[in-house]
Structures are given as structure tokens and as C-alpha cells.
Amino acid sequence: MTAALAMPGLESRGMAERLQQNTGGAGPQFSVMMWTLNKRGSFEENLERVAQAGYGHVELVGEFARWSEEDWRRILARMQALKITVDATSGVKAGFADPAGGDAFVAELKGFIPTVQRLGCGQIILLSGKRIDGAAPGVQRAASIEVLKRAAEILNSAGLTGVIEPIDRLENPSIYLDGVAEALEIVRAVGSPKVKVLYDLYHEQRGLGNLIEKLEKNIDEVGLIHVADVPGRHEPGTGEVNFGNVYRALARLKYRGVIAMEFYPTGNVVETLRHAREEALRAWVG
């Protein structure tokens, strides 16, 4: 039985049997991006809620930068007791698409790795940085490829993976990388299993849509999925995305990475998170 089905809530024998039958037991892994819960309680209170909702992973955006040594010991011990691990984190502030900033990006990535390893985390979320006004066509893409090739060597040595995340320009008008299609092209040009794409369904739907076809054509380059409905960045079912179809596509494509909930719950945190995970599992097993 998978970790996803070892948690309370949906975990009936029938569901476990269907998961085993349909996927060989290799069901999806689920995570929660912790920043989305900031207004609902403290970090540690929200860890408890995530565990109660049946999740085995969380994702971070640099919360640890404010932790004292005692905070580190206490929080890591509590996570261990709750059987929660960190599957991904951001924390590299430099962007990889600045033609003049490659050395700074690589240096910051190197310096960040000990923190990532202390978290027991396997993936680092990487952002492109700003679009450079007046830059010649293709210059920032070429810079991205060159810098990420250097990053791949560092990540490989550390046993980590980098996932590059496009952000829609409704949210960040100055961002360079704003769509999955270009992210996939960059990752293919880098040519390393240590650099993948973070496919954020919320950002891609807002900016460009056509979510499933891009998954079908590029699933091998996808290292992480982020989930929130559009508009509003709330849980699936509150907006325009048919997440049942998306989850069924991911199951059919045998996606084996993490699906991270990165939404603002509209109701009770535990109940909303649990429901989002259970609905994904129902769609997954068909």
C-alpha cells in the first residue's frame, strides 16, 4: 500500500485494491505548499493540519531562513514524528535567465545546497528572473540553457534535482519565463535528468491554457505538479479547471512525481486539503 493510502480519510481496502490493480500500487504522492496556509496559523500548527489531512510531504519557500538553531531542531523533529518530509523548496533568489548573472546564480545555488540537504529535500525550485527590456531575441533563452547546464552538474554532484517554474505575467509582469512550452524547450536543450519542469497548472491556465495536451506530449520532462484552480487560487472545484480530467491524464501517462496543493483553502484547512487529495485519488484510480 502506498504512503498516500496509509493515511486516514479515503483509505478503504477497495481503494487500495483499485490503486494496485490500475497502477501496480504506484499511486501519486501529495504535498502542500506551506506558504498558502500562512494566514491560517503558525508554521507548526499548519504542519499538524497537513498531517491530519493525510499528506506525507510539504514544500517551502524559504521559511527556514528565519529559524533559529532551536527552531531547526524542533521543527525537523516534529516533521519526523508526523512522517512528513520536504519534497521541494525554493530559496535561490538569483534568476537563471540573466546573461550577466550566471556566476551569481551558480554561486548562490552552491551555497544553498547544504540547507536543502539539511531539510532532507530532493528538489530545488528555480526561477528565471526578470525579462530584460531590449534584449536581443533568444539571448535570455540561450543564457538559461548555459546556466542550467552548469547547475545540472552541481545538482548531480549533490544528488538533487532542479525544477524550473514558469510564472504567468498576470501575477508577475516582469518575469522572463512565463509558459511551460518554453520551459520544456529549455530543459530539453539542457539535456540532464537533474533539470526538469515544474508544471504549475494554475499559472499555465491563467496565461496559456491547453493543460492536458502539453502533459501528454512532455510528461518525461515534468518533475513536479502544482495545483490550484482559476480564478482565485483556491482548491480544485472552485473554478474553471477540470482537475478530474487532468488527474486521469496524469495517471494514464504514469506520472510518478509529486502533486503539490498550492491553493488558499476556502473552508476548514484540514477538511479542504483532505478533500482535494481524496478527489485526486478517486480520479486517479478511475
Amino acid 18: pLDDT: 61
Amino acid 22: pLDDT: 56
Q: Which residue has the cell 493540519?
A: 49
Amino acid 15: pLDDT: 55
Nearest to 96 by CA among 159, 142, 144: 144
| Residue 85, H or E segment | strand 85-89
Amino acid 286: pLDDT: 85
SS3 labels along 95-146: CCCCCCCHHHHHHHHHHHHHHHHHHCCCEEEECCCECCCCCCCCHHHHHHHH
> C-alpha angle 39/268/200, rounded to 5°?
65
Amino acid 23: pLDDT: 54
Q: Are 259 and 238 in contact (CB under 8 A)?
A: no
Three cell numbers at 240?
474553471
Identify how many contiguous H helices and E strands the chain contains and give both numbers: 10, 8
Helix (H, G, I), strand (E, B) or coil at 89: strand
Residues of the chain with pLDDT under 50: 1-10, 12
What is the DSSP secondary-structure string of 161-205? EEEE----TTT-TTBS---HHHHHHHHHHHT-TTEEEEEEHHHHH
Q: What is the pLDDT of residues 148-157, one digit of tens each?
A: 999 999 999 9
**pTM of the predicted protein model:** 0.93
Three cell numbers at 7?
493515511
Q: Are 58 and 32 in contact (CB under 8 A)?
A: yes
Query: Which residues lie below 8 Å from residue 132, measured CB to CB, with a gap of 6+?
Result: 98, 99, 139, 140, 176
Q: What is the pLDDT of residues 122-132, one digit of tens each?
A: 999 999 999 99
